[in-house]
Structure 1
Amino acid sequence: MREGSASTATKTPPARLSGPQGDDADAERRRARTAAVGTALVGVAVVAVLTGPWLERRFGLAALGAWRTLLVAIVMQGVPFLVLGTIVSAAIGAFVPDRVFSRILPRNPVLAVPVAGVAGVVLPGCECASVPVAGSLMRRGVAPAAALTFLLAAPAVNPVVLVATTIAFPGRPEMVAARFVASLAASIAMGWLWIKRGREEWLRLPKGHTHSAPGAGRLEAFRRGLQHDFLQAGGFLVIGAMAAATFNVLVPPSVLEAFSGSPWLGLLVAAALAVLLSVCSEADAFVASSFTGFSPTARLAFMVVGPMVDMKLIALQSGAFGRAFAVRFCAATFVVAILCAVLVAGVLL
């Protein structure tokens, strides 16, 4: 009887882990997949650059040389700011306690929204990092409107992004100012809009998680966060650089002239490209500056919309807060971001 019980026990498949251990395992698998995809994308870009001269000679692809030059220029300009931004983001995630955010925000949601928007200036982070930070704020009792405002503002108005925009648009301080004002205005407007029109049933609050242990645990969290953010953002930077280089090489000047002749069409196309390309906010200014056929307002809309609404953010928000929330929130943010870009451009550009 005992032998049968032991035999049965050994044949019983192990149960799937649930709770913190299962969540940690799932997170580890997601990090591994992200690292693999990011590394593959960077590898593709390196191979394309190294084999470019041979392909040009072998097949007479003159346009490939221009494409390769643009790709290298955009990536090399964006990488330093990408590295700095991911270091800051990983450091905040590993070393800044969640209670810091809840203490600096007023209890009144209407007042907390602009404070959360301004907090994005001094507590920067990339788009990917802002989603879990916003979820952590909500778990700590911060009003959802303030947490969502921080989610939108942090990747768009932080010093790394503003310095990158200054480098990407030399001699155009008005473009930097317009990006800051339009992005901050859109973030605050969305926070107040959530207070006015948002419903609790749309928002699925994220579940709690175990925090890293002090000391070596925080250093390990910093290392993993830095690796994850850099590989993921680097992969999206490569995609955006490839798309921008391809756009500049293949799209005829007549098409760009058509966009220039129709300001609203160019504006909508630039905003749609921001969503589809999903370029990291620390590097999107260099991609926007390469769109020379677009109007300044359209390029501003690209930089305002991108850090707030893109494909990876839609996926991250769906996983963290639910699909019903992501669909409504991202659609409203897209419209508000465009309107703020147009209004600010009319004054500053």
Structure 2
Amino acid sequence: MTTLDPAAPPGTRRRDPQPPPESRGPRLDSSLGLALLLLPAVVLQGPIRRALGAPVMQSWMTVFVAVVVQALPFLVLGVLLSAALAVFVPPSFFARALPSRPALAVPVAGMAGAVLPGCECASVPVAGALVRRGVAPSAALAFLLSAPAVNPIVLTATAVAFPGHPEMVAARFGASLLVACAMGWLWQRLGRADWLRPPRPPAGDRSRGEAFWDSVRHDVVHAGGFLVLGATAAATLKAVVPAGWLEGAAGEPAAAVLALAVLAVLLSICSEADAFVAASLSQFSLTARLVFLVVGPMIDLKLFAMQAGTFGRGFALRFAPATFVLAVVVPAAVGTVLW
């Protein structure tokens, strides 16, 4: 486009400056990319609508949403309380509260998990802080295993998830506490100092408020991701896997127990949410689901990584398999007696 230039001689015209080509390119590219992203949704909206309306997808979404909606409030509350425990309660408090004799400190530390809410993501650093402050490793390990499994939030979530089986709450509490104490005493008897690497003190100089909200943000994202993964797996098992397969695995008591024990390790669900996933696996016996609830908070993929990072890989390679065996055998025995 040309215009008259008042400063130029009469009859001359000047050309308006044009924007360089590179200034127009990115806008065009971004618009084209957005259109390409939306094009499949527009073209395939009919098949997508029909797929979402299929009975199997309706069943999948029902189970997924039910698990997430039921579990999310407990998960958030657990994260808030565990962050407050890790940040505002000094580790020296535990050192003063525990008996000096390790054999007595183990059950006391295990019972402390019943009154001090904390998920497994928080129990590992708290246990590391206890060891760093001089608490006997056997007592710190008992607390590490018991706190995520027997605290009030987890037990309340279990009661809500299993309204027709109130004995599940007592069974989870008793079996988890017994495993935690047994592992503490086992470490006191057989553990060696060179197997346990002393954890390093946390780096950085942050205020308590900053540390609290950093812990909350990290744990909500971390645990929320595993909750979504667990809900996805539960919904898929419920809606997609043929009922005959699940009934075949659930019909064999030993196979059902081992299947849900391995599933608990692989899913790595936060303990505040795992009861709702277990309740959705109604094809399996209560004993197998009790094993799922005891194994998950004590040994899973994320816990193994955290334990290796805090106490050393040599510790995790010895501690995790022993914990897994006890966490399967003890609740299986308890379930056999109850049901």
- TM-score norm. by structure 1 comes to 0.82
Q: Offset at 1:205?
A: 1.2
Contiguous gaps of at least 5 residues in structure 2:
1-43
Distance, in Å, in 2 between the alignment partners of 1:338 and 1:83 is 28
How large is the RMSD of aligned CA atoms in angstroms?
Answer: 1.8
Counterpart in 2 of 1:291?
A: 281
Counterpart in 2 of 1:197?
A: 190
Letter in 1 for 2:256: G
Contact 1:212 1:221 in 2 (8 A): no
Contact 1:52 1:65 in 2 (8 A): no
Alignment of 1:38-77 (within 5 A): 55-57=48-50, 61-77=54-70
Contact 1:267 1:297 in 2 (8 A): yes
Contact 1:55 1:61 in 2 (8 A): no
Among residues 87, 92, 112, which one is paired with 1:94 in the alignment?
87
Contact 1:99 1:140 in 2 (8 A): yes
Structure 1 pair 256–109 and aligned structure 2 pair: CA distance change class (3 A): same
Dislocated runs of 4+, deviation >3 Å: 51-54, 58-62, 210-213
Letter in 2 for 1:150: F
Could you report, residue by residue, the CA deviation over 1:8-47 in whole angstroms, capped at 9, with x for unpaired residues? xxxxxxxxxxxxxxxxxxxxxxxxxxxxxxxxxxxxxxxx
Distance, in Å, in 2 between the alignment partners of 1:82 and 1:340 is 26
Q: Offset at 1:210?
A: 5.1
Does 1:240 find its partner at 2:233? no
Counterpart in 2 of 1:231?
A: 221
Counterpart in 1 of 2:139?
A: 146
Could you report, residue by residue, the CA deviation over 1:248-295 in whole angstroms, capped at 9, with x for unpaired residues? 112212112212321000000000000000010000000000111111
Contact 2:84 2:212 in 1 (8 A): yes
Structure 1 pair 186–328 and aligned structure 2 pair: CA distance change class (3 A): same
Distance, in Å, in 1 between the alignment partners of 2:218 and 2:134 is 27
Q: Offset at 1:98?
A: 1.0
Question: Which structure dedicates a bigger proportion of its chain to helix?
Answer: 1
Alignment of 1:114-153 (within 5 A): 114-153=107-146
Counterpart in 2 of 1:277?
A: 267
Alignment of 1:200-215 (within 5 A): 200-209=193-202
Higher relative contact order (CA 8 A, sep 6+): 1
Letter in 2 for 1:246: T
Counterpart in 2 of 1:45?
A: none
Distance, in Å, in 2 between the alignment partners of 1:104 and 1:128 is 23
SS in 2 for 1:121: coil
Counterpart in 1 of 2:306?
A: 316
Which protein is bigger by CA-based radius of gyration? 2
Q: Offset at 1:222?
A: 1.1
Same amino acid, percent of matched pairs: 58
Q: Offset at 1:61?
A: 3.9
Counterpart in 2 of 1:4?
A: none
Q: Offset at 1:148?
A: 0.5
Distance, in Å, in 2 between the alignment partners of 1:330 and 1:172 is 30
Could you report, residue by residue, the CA deviation over 1:306-348 in whole angstroms, capped at 9, with x for unpaired residues? 0000000001011111111111101000000111101211233
Counterpart in 2 of 1:218?
A: 208
Contiguous gaps of at least 5 residues in structure 1:
1-50
